[in-house]
Amino acid sequence: VTRVLVTGATGFVGRAAVAALGLQGHEVHGTARVTAGDVSVDAWHRADLLDPAGVDRLVQESACTHLLHLAWTAEQPTYSSDPANLAWARATCALVDAFAAAGGRRVVAAGTCAQYSWDPDVIGAEGFVSEAVTPRRPTSLYGRAKQATTDLLEAWSAETGLSFATALLFVPYGPFDRPERLVPSVTRSLLAGETAEVRSGNNVHDFLHVEDCGAALAALLDSDVTGPVNVGSGQGTSVADVASTLGRIVGREDLLRIAPASGGGEIRLVARTTRLNEEVGFQPFRGLEAGLEATVDWLRERLA
Amino acid sequence: VTRVLVTGATGFVGRAAVAALGLQGHEVHGTARVTAGDVSVDAWHRADLLDPAGVDRLVQESACTHLLHLAWTAEQPTYSSDPANLAWARATCALVDAFAAAGGRRVVAAGTCAQYSWDPDVIGAEGFVSEAVTPRRPTSLYGRAKQATTDLLEAWSAETGLSFATALLFVPYGPFDRPERLVPSVTRSLLAGETAEVRSGNNVHDFLHVEDCGAALAALLDSDVTGPVNVGSGQGTSVADVASTLGRIVGREDLLRIAPASGGGEIRLVARTTRLNEEVGFQPFRGLEAGLEATVDWLRERLA
């Protein structure tokens, strides 16, 4: 049995990761600033990671060998320019440093597809990005803070012997997603019989059901793969296609108002998932249509 | 009068920066883990920046509006893979965060030419690198830690209103340089009448006398230029040419044994200094020959 500490365990991705780690038979220790609530873990440690004393206490108390670090500022829609990104970069370095000093052996930290350049002149018109090849030149404070933190910790771990991987998360969707985001906001409008305004319909992203995302993180933590690893489906889907699929599922395509990206700049950003599929040995369980159907069912139940 | 805090003020570059800031009429506050010794400042604050409580006390006590942050691990020859690079990245973020919170307005932090890619396929055969164009893809832990720290702080400052610049230092030489480095080690051998083994003679770097480096940092701090700024001479010189010049100055060229870089890979890394020269308005005072002559004189006096 591996003792695994999960930070941000009450979050959108954290819940799914906790569930996947539990299914694998690990002893799961969760932490967040709040109580565990309905998140099912073997042990709970309430802690504020922005408090240095809290970090040290958490590491000592939990005494885990494996760490899945998901906590970060996620205020919508300001997270990409939130000054708290610096505090979270600092907290992440402090946590990993303390964890390794206390005998921790393996760490997976959440990165983001926003660490890649999104410039078609850099990544090509198809928008496929791969860990070893594509430059990571983020533009937002969020992307730059994640890139700074994970690249520093990758370099440091290579010198100190800590086993460290960065999970570059593409676009997870599913239960407990923030209401402002694409899938829940469109679905809520459609279920309420209201017009759903969809912006940037031509942008293409890599969508992954959050249960697959959690299972991928659990598989990555269980492996000895180090460095950056894309966590996505490997499939590009336009925002318009996601919205249209939701429209068909709900039976209200008539309510969709889909507009292209303003300014004309189209984003295409799709994960090459060779590392995840072949080195980690993980394949997603759900296709996009099935994943969206399950999400609509979950939201319908919640709203009922 | 501007109140300026200089960290690493007893270091090789720090001494020169303190002198330049003093000449400009600033109120110079110095800090290091040791006493000021022969470094002439208006106020001295002995502090360990790796101690969070020490950082907060230093910022409160010194109450400066301007910060020139030069302190970092510099153990030779291990600094490029020293695990302490993480601690210094953390300390730098903590210092800048605390400094801004206490009302600090302008920060210049030392970066390094090691933040640039050194790959000729990336930067071109001539090796000229410029801030806006050349990718910063460092390979060493040192380069990656400096890049992570300064890029994060640049991004954060752009959102919070702190005026922040990174001084990307090329190769300073001169008084108080570490004895293991090129100019002092070759000069000491020649002055002692011993054979001077010079490796990587074909590598081309951008050498800048440390008094010019200190003056450039003072000028940059006095300006409102933000983001990365190359601090170099703009001239590339091979290691062999530096050694030969030292041989001529000492009159013992016969003692030089110059070998090319092992493995055949030649490094060429030269600063484009348009930002420093035109935006900051700084030009170096000394040419390389005059700078090396002054350095030989200083070393001769020290060794006498």
- Could you report the per-residue pLDDT of A251-280, keeping only the tens digit for each? 999 999 999 888 767 899 999 999 999 999
Closest CA to A19 of A44, A40, A43: A40
What per-residue confidence (pLDDT) applies to B68?
98
Cβ atoms < 10 Å from Cβ of B76: 10
Q: pLDDT per residue over B137-192, tens digit each?
A: 999 999 999 999 999 999 999 999 999 999 999 999 999 999 999 999 999 999 99
B165 contacts B108 by C-beta, under 8 angstroms: yes
B94 and A90 in contact by Cβ < 8 A?
yes
Residues B28 and B13: beta-carbon distance below 8 Å: no
Instruction: Give which of B147, B185, B166 is closest to A137, Cα–Cα.
Output: B147
ipTM: 0.94
Does position A78 have pLDDT exceeding 90, yes or no? no
CB B64 within 8 A of CB B29: yes
Q: What is the pLDDT of residues A154-168, one digit of tens each?
A: 999 999 999 999 999
* Partners of residue B140 in chain A, C-beta under 8 Å: 155
Which of these, B207, B215, B171, lies nearest to B289 by C-alpha position? B207
Q: Look at A155 and B141 and tell me if their CB atoms are within 8 Å.
A: yes
Query: A263: burial class by Cβ within 10 Å (0-12, 13-18, 19+)?
Result: exposed
- What pLDDT, on the 0 to 100 scale, is given for residue B213? 98
In this prediction, residues A79-103 reach a mean pLDDT of 97
Q: Is the pLDDT of residue A39 over 90?
A: yes
B228 neighbourhood in chain A, CB within 8 Å: none
Q: What percent of chain A has pLDDT over 70?
A: 100
Sign of dihedral through CA atoms A7, B146, B222, B54?
A: positive
Cis peptide before A77 (omega within 30 of 0): yes
Burial group, residue B233, by CB count within 10 angstroms (0-12, 13-18, 19+): buried
Give B-chain residues touching A89 at CB under 8 angstroms.
Answer: 93, 152
Q: What pLDDT does residue B253 have?
A: 97
Enumerate the residues of chain A whose CB falls inside 8 A of the CB of residue B159.
81-83, 141
Give the β-pairing of A237-238 and A204-205: antiparallel
Q: Which of A83, A86, A159 sits opposite B141 (nearest CB)?
A: A159
User: Cβ–Cβ of A90/B81 closer than 8 Å?
Assistant: no
For every residue of B264-280, DSSP letters joined together read SPPPB-EE--HIIIIIS
Alpha carbons A71 and A94: distance in angstroms, whole number: 13
CA atoms of B41 and B25, how far apart (whole Å): 11
Spans of chain B below 70 pLDDT = 264
- The beta-carbon neighbor of B152 closest among A86, A137, A159 is A86
pLDDT for the residue A265: 75
Cis peptide before A260 (omega within 30 of 0): no
H or E element in which residue B231 lies: strand B227-231
Listed residue (B197, B211, B207, B262) closest to B238, CA to CA: B207
In terms of CA atoms, which chain A residue is nearest residue B144? Answer: A152
Which chain A residue's Cα is nearest to B160? A83
Cβ-based contacts of B148 with chain A (< 8 Å) = 147-149, 151-152
Q: What is the pLDDT of residue A291?
A: 98
Please check the confidence at residue A114 and state whether its pLDDT lies above 80: yes
Banded model confidence at residue A304, pLDDT cuts 50, 70, 90: confident
* pLDDT in the model for residue A263: 75
Question: Is B26:B90 a contact under the CB 8 Å cutoff?
Answer: no
Written as six digits, the tokens of A108 are 């997976």
- Which pLDDT value is given to residue B272? 98
Query: Chain B contacts of A90, Cβ < 8 Å?
Result: 90, 93-94, 97
User: Which of B85, B97, B144 has its CB closest to that of A151?
Assistant: B144
Q: Which amino acid, one-letter code, is at A203?
A: N
**Does B151 sit within 8 Å of A147, measured CB to CB?**
yes
